[in-house]
Structure 1
Amino acid sequence: MQTKCDILILTADFGSGHKSVSNAIKSYINDVDSNVNIEIVDMYKIIRPKLYKYIYKFFGILIKYGTPIYNFDYYKKNNNDKFGKLHSCYKSSSRRLARYLEDVQPSIIISTFPTCSAYVTKHKKDNNVSIPLITCITDIVKGSEWLHKGNDMYLVATDTVNKSIVKRGISKDSVITTGIPIRREFLEDKNLPELRQEYNVSQKDFVVLMMGGGLGLIPKEVSFYEWIAANKRIKLYIITGNNKDLYNKISKYNEYSNINILKYTDKVADIMAVTDLLITKPGGITLFEAIASNLPFIIYKPVLGQELENCRYIEEKELGYVVQSEKELIDKISLVMKHEDIRSKMIKSIKEEQKNIDMKSLADNIMSVYNLNK
């Protein structure tokens, strides 16, 4: 027997971003009403309790060795309304979800992963259930993977995505631009002098933060780190997250005085606040954390479908650069470091995009649905 809850947030562990969004949503809802009981649950633990660990392991292998296969599936689902809508929704999984929801009896469901939305809308249709479903789209995409008949509200990253979804026949009243939910520490004012002192950053330093360690998506060539080491104005931080193998592989670069290799840290917002340039993979959550932090970025070797779509947004809005090689990466770091006017122009564009971020609207709209259905 599962514990009953008021709001159920369904997510998946394909990368840490979807769970991060789920936790942010829970936090903002509880700001409005701390008495609301919210549970965050991995969808695959419900529908595939014996296999979910293997599913995630296979995903990691697919990303590393089978990107063309992943991207074929991704673009088919997002460019064809009929392809793959429920291609992973099996009867046994649907029955498990139905039993789980019967036990938990939430007043509303929030989805932060497209397959979660697919299963819940299928459940609603097959069982004639009217429980409201709110889908929070965690990338800057316009595809059909996230769109399902029976979804009651969409929370989207930008006005451009909003308009695109409405053009595809979704009621404009059910699509709300909130920005991608990010943790509150990225939205809070920072004591920059204190943080610079804590991280030993001087006014003359050019601080570069590199992320993407979860999947090991950072430069591999020794020459890159030697170039960094030779440029004493640069202070490089690399966050490897929980990727122990990556940390062990590159921790030797800690011997350079201007390179700092970090394991998992909950101080990302503080580090971003004192950073001049971010090098990362183009996940929607990380991009919006950078936008909230007034931080220009360079996207390094994007390969996945949603990453490539996010890159289009980056280039269209002139928020940063997209590079495909370590030589390009060095060239762009040098360019931004030497020309403050270029960095200032990117920051100006970033500040425009900050207007999309409205966590109060996110919480208020969710609560309006909840209050009508509790």
Structure 2
Amino acid sequence: MPTRRAVLILSASMGAGHDAAAAELARRLTAGGIDAEVADVLDLLPLRLGPALRGWYGWTMRSAPWLYALVYRVFFAARHAPPASPLTSLAARRLLRLLRRRRPDEVVSTFHLAAQAAGTLRRRGLLTARSTVLLTDFAAHRLWLHPGNDRYLCPDPATAQEVRGVTGRPASCYAPLVRPAFLDVAPRGPGAGRRLVLVAAGSWGVGDVERTARVLARTGRYRPVVLCGRNAALAARLRNAGVEGLGWHDDLPGLMGRAYALVDNAAGMTAREAMAAGLPVVTYLPIPGHGRDGVLAMERAGVSLHARSAGGLVAALDRLEDGERERLRAAARALFAAPPAEACFATGAGRRTLSGLGA
């Protein structure tokens, strides 16, 4: 009797986007008869460095975004940056132990540190199973791009072309991984009166979303509702200022079905969910680093409008009345017309071994 294929998906609990994509891929693979397991690459770091890294990132994004912008430019985006993250070798060493126990047929990375660790092992011949990187960002900074990995799955054609040029590895497009509930949304018409505009702040509730909400409220035409994620302090501040702030919301597809637009600041999972639901995305005041680069990449891909000023934000929302809404929906439909990610794993070689690991 043939052995079921096994896929190990490496994610990271940095926000919710990487984990959400990994969980949805695992669900689909399991439904297709593949053994899929998700592991958090932060758990592979010694000395509790994973929780420390997660805490540092959250603190900088809330309290010192300028510091994260500096780190991003030095380590993630600079032309002459160090060849790999200082954490790569630490993660790779423990990933090797995990691979010894699990022996997957394929490793899939949905976070850049995982892509670095798996690519390092693959290049050294210590990982003989195929290594795939599933990009969850529209902007592929260099830490996503380790040439030791076998292939890349990308969110849009421009990103795929860039990845091929940098790594020399195969890169193709996949339909963004969102829960089926978002694909089943039947958007309502814009309606009359103050139109509901969702303002995304990610799962950690970061970015200058209070400023965004004030811009929208002053128009008298748009009713801002801020998605605060798990940031209870942000929700409380907004309520004290007379702005609606929602905590973690289980019925986000239903809320998107009633909304006029989403104002996004990170080009992450919420933006993809909005596109799946047929909700136009306008970006404004992006968070630094990968958020800003992702927002600009989405604009170049034609799947969102990017506002560079308060007046530009209002003008972009107003433009949705003049045909821009349908153009954005068509661009989003094109993204989701790409092959589903799970189809890329439907076939493959039998279970492989890991060089140097023994029996």
Cα pair distance change 1:19/1:165, threshold 3 Å: same
**Is the counterpart of residue 364 in structure 1 residue 337 in structure 2?**
no
Separation (CA, whole Å) in 2 of partners of 1:366 and 1:8: 12
Shift of 1:100: 1.8
**Is the counterpart of residue 48 in structure 1 residue 46 in structure 2?**
yes
TM alignment of 1:182-193, pairs within 5 A: 182-190=178-186
Amino acid at match of 2:210: K
Separation (CA, whole Å) in 2 of partners of 1:48 and 1:117: 18
More helix by share: 1
RMSD: 3.1
* Structure 1 moving runs of 4+ over 6 Å: none
Separation (CA, whole Å) in 1 of partners of 2:71 and 2:317: 39
Shift of 1:338: 4.6
SS in 2 for 1:176: strand
Count of aligned residue pairs for this structure pair: 347
Paired residues of 2:118 and 2:127 also in contact (CA < 8 A): no
Separation (CA, whole Å) in 2 of partners of 1:189 and 1:40: 28
Shift of 1:164: 1.6
- Matched residue, 1:217: 207
Shift of 1:124: 3.1
Shift of 1:154: 0.7
SS in 2 for 1:368: coil
Cα pair distance change 1:69/1:263, threshold 3 Å: closer
Partner residue of 1:290 out of 274, 291, 311: 274
Query: Structure 2: any 5+ residue segments left out of the alignment?
Result: 353-359
TM alignment of 1:1-374, pairs within 5 A: 6-33=6-33, 36-48=34-46, 50-76=48-74, 77-80=76-79, 83-91=82-90, 93-126=91-124, 128-171=126-169, 174-190=170-186, 203-212=192-201, 214-220=204-210, 224=214, 228=217, 231=220, 233-252=221-240, 260-323=244-307, 328-329=309-310, 331-332=311-312, 334-336=314-316, 338-342=318-322, 344-358=323-337, 360-369=339-348, 372-373=350-351
Paired residues of 2:278 and 2:332 also in contact (CA < 8 A): no
Cα pair distance change 1:204/1:364, threshold 3 Å: same
Cα pair distance change 1:234/1:74, threshold 3 Å: closer
Separation (CA, whole Å) in 1 of partners of 2:113 and 2:43: 13
Separation (CA, whole Å) in 1 of partners of 2:268 and 2:31: 24
| CA shift digits 1:123-179 (9 cap, x unpaired) | 2344533011111111112432211122122110101111122223524xx312014
TM, length-normalised to structure 1: 0.81
Amino acid at match of 1:166: R
Separation (CA, whole Å) in 2 of partners of 1:13 and 1:222: 27
Taking only the aligned residue pairs, the percentage that are identical comes to: 16
Shift of 1:29: 1.8
| CA shift digits 1:225-262 (9 cap, x unpaired) | 8x72782x5333222111111122222356xxxx6432
| CA shift digits 1:199-232 (9 cap, x unpaired) | xx9554522111105233244359928x72782x
48-57 vs 144-153, greater mean Cα deviation:
48-57
Query: Structure 1: any 5+ residue segments left out of the alignment?
Result: none
Cα pair distance change 1:142/1:30, threshold 3 Å: same
Cα pair distance change 1:249/1:146, threshold 3 Å: same
Cα pair distance change 1:337/1:301, threshold 3 Å: closer
